[in-house]
């Protein structure tokens, strides 16, 4: 099957669907004013890709920006590549300076980024031939075409809303609460969302976290926006977290102080009312002078009886003997 035409009459989405549904093997060449891209298919599956915009292996830049390799290490590996048959990738992996997992994720970032770009091309041309170019000159991958179509169209559809909510890339995200199964289920968080959450550090900027995630930038930024919308993350200008925490602590302290002052005021009011009533049960100086004298006198009498071991409570008034009055002689 040979396909040839312009993207105005037959879009990239339709081309991919046709190749996938008919499980075709061959090479799709797409050209536009922006770039020329070649994509290899085997039985409808994407197995390789290259672009004339790549001056070097694009994965190297992704890995350097993410902090997974250093420029000096890459330079030495490139020099070694020229001297022997090993690629810079093989050299770094054999030296233990690069993990294969990180390389695979970097490949995924590059492939998804270029697919997202070409799916939005509105002008240019295409050609599909029933032959496959040498994949050694391509960036190898294994991606189901149908999945690419659905995922890319979803991202394109959601991007306008996400773009409006993206925080400044030089701000630092801060987690508000830990993730739990209930929170993940309630907010329908995906694996990529939880991965971004785990990478958040108050000292890392949004840009750094996106690069460190080894996820396509649009997907990583979408995850950060979802975490913010769910109330799990906040962002602050770099270096302002401490002052923000101090401000919150001050507000909390003032709030507690305000609540305490209400209770203090209530106690003062109650005490004032008691003092104004001048109750007799209050000790000492609060008892009026005209009452204090008789009370003190009764206390003294009680003390004298106590010394003589005479207890008023034990006296029986019926035991008193009345003596008849003496008759006058």
At 170-217, the pLDDT tens digits run 999 999 999 999 999 999 999 999 999 999 988 899 999 999 999 999
Q: What is the pLDDT of residue 10?
A: 85
The percentage of residues in the chain with a pLDDT greater than 90, rounded to a whole number, is 56
Range in 57-66, 96-105, 299-308 with the lowest mean pLDDT: 299-308
Distances 93 to 67, 77, 84, 105, 141 between C-alpha atoms, Å: 16, 10, 15, 14, 18
Asked if residue 220 has pLDDT above 90, the reply is yes
Radius of gyration of the chain (CA): 43
Query: Sheet holding 3-6: strands in order across?
Result: 3-6, 125-129, 26-31, 36-42, 45-51, 139-144
Asked if residue 223 has pLDDT above 90, the reply is yes
Pair of tokens at residue 300: 């003294």
pTM for the predicted model, two decimal places: 0.68
Q: What is the pLDDT of residue 321?
A: 45
Residues 252-276: what's their mean pLDDT?
Answer: 67
pLDDT band, residue 325 (cuts 50/70/90): very low
Q: What is the pLDDT of residue 84?
A: 83
Distance CA 204, CA 213 (A): 12
Q: What is the pLDDT of residue 137?
A: 78
Q: What is the pLDDT of residue 314?
A: 54
Distance CA 134, CA 140 (A): 11
pLDDT band, residue 136 (cuts 50/70/90): confident
**Which is more confidently placed, 99 or 269?**
99
Distance CA 238, CA 174 (A): 11
């Amino acid at each position: 099957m040979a396909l040839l035409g312009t993207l105005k009459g037959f879009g990239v989405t339709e081309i991919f669907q046709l190749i996938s549904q008919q499980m075709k093997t061959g090479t799709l060449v797409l050209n536009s004013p922006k770039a020329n891209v070649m994509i290899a298919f085997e039985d409808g599956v994407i197995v390789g890709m290259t672009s004339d915009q790549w001056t070097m292996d694009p994965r190297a830049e992704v890995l350097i920006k993410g902090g997974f390799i250093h420029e000096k290490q890459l330079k030495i590996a490139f020099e070694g590549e020229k001297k022997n048959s090993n690629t810079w990738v093989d050299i770094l992996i054999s030296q233990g300076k690069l993990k294969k997992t990180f390389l695979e994720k970097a490949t995924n970032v590059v492939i998804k980024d270029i697919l997202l770009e070409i799916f939005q091309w509105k002008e240019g041309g295409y050609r599909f031939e029933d032959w496959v170019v040498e994949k050694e000159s391509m960036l190898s991958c294994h991606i189901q075409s149908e999945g690419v179509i659905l995922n890319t169209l979803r991202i394109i559809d959601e991007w306008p809303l996400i773009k409006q909510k993206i925080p400044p890339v030089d701000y630092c995200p801060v987690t508000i609460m830990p993730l739990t199964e209930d929170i993940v289920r309630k907010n329908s968080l995906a694996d990529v969302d939880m991965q971004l959450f785990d990478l958040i550090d108050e000292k890392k900027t949004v840009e750094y976290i996106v690069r460190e995630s080894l996820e396509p930038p649009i997907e990583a930024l979408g995850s950060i926006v979802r975490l913010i919308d769910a109330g799990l993350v906040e962002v602050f200008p770099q270096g302002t977290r401490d002052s923000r925490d101090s401000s919150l602590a001050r507000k909390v302290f003032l709030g507690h102080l305000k609540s305490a002052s209400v209770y203090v005021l209530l106690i003062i009011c109650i005490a004032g009312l008691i003092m104004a009533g001048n109750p007799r049960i209050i000790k000492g100086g609060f008892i009026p002078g005209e009452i204090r004298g008789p009370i003190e006198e009764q206390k003294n009498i009680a003390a004298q009886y106590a010394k003589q071991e005479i207890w008023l409570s034990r006296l029986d008034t019926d035991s008193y003997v009345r003596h008849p009055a003496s008759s006058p002689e």
